[in-house]
Amino acid sequence: MDRMKPNISMAVIRRLPKYYRYLNELMEKGITRISSKEFGRILGFTASQIRQDLNCFGGFGQQGYGYNVRELRDEIANILGINKTKNAIIVGAGNLGQAIANYSGFRGSGFVLKAMFDINPRLVGISIRDIKIMDIDDMGEFIKNSGVNAGIICTPKEGAQSVADRLTGEGIKAIWNFAPTDLEVPEDVIVENVHLSESLMVLAYMMNERDRMENTQ
């Protein structure tokens, strides 16, 4: 009975977490209302863009008033689905995996870390924040019994695809991938990549570009 939404572009979706973050900051400051103009000034966006983005999901504002900060924040939380609990496991418990396990941003996005897995016997048995690192061969059974919704891949490039295969084979339909490779997964599986090296190369490009500019002038 839902009205058919025209597909919402990823450009819009990727701005929502920023809106959410700034709305929380406004709340902390005790600000209860905000106009798209002022919000845009704070975020560095145009007022038009903010109104256009929000209107993809509904008319949350009021003419002459603006937007209620708390209400808009709650709406965006709901759109993002971060108020729904999702169980996650980390595969690859090396430095990065352990850092992610300690990452405090999970709860703010609705994710709860349930277990960690690794192939390295030296790591198996260690606990990180009360989460025991288990042998990856026990992963299938754990997933079956524990209602896992998402897998976080923190392995080196070489192991990533086979981990993805095992995860999707067990019915996991969402992957947060830190391995520097593009995973091949069934089309109903969602993959969100965090490619650190690509980010670093973009930083290198911009540094290089600025140097070029300076040397040309």
Partner DNA sequence: TATATATTGGTAATTATTTAACAAATTGAT
Partner DNA sequence: ATCAATTTGTTAAATAATTACCAATATATA
Based on the shown chain and the rule CB under 8 A, indicate whether residue 174 belongs to the binding site for a second copy.
yes
Residues 15-54 that bind a second copy (CB under 8 A): 16-18, 20-21, 44
Measured from the CB atom, the residue of 141 and 207 that comes closer to a second copy is 207
Least distance in angstroms from the C-beta of 65 to DNA: 4
* Euclidean distance between CA atoms 15 and 3, whole angstroms: 23
Q: Which does 201 bind (CB under 5 to 8 A by kind): DNA, a second copy, none?
A: a second copy
Alpha helix positions (H), the chain: 10-13, 16-28, 36-43, 47-55, 69-80, 95-101, 106-109, 139-146, 157-169, 196-216
Cβ distance 180 to 157 under 8 Å? yes
Query: Cα-flanking dihedrals φ and ψ of residue 205, to 5°?
Result: -60, -45
**Burial zone of 80 (CB within 10 Å; 0-12 exposed, 13-18 middle, 19+ buried):** middle
Residues 87-146 that bind a second copy (CB under 8 A): 94-96, 98-100, 102-103, 105-106, 108-111
Q: Which parts of this chain interact with a second copy (CB under 8 A)?
A: 2, 10, 13-14, 16-18, 20-21, 44, 79-82, 84, 86, 94-96, 98-100, 102-103, 105-106, 108-111, 149-150, 173-174, 176, 180, 182, 188, 190, 192, 194-212, 216
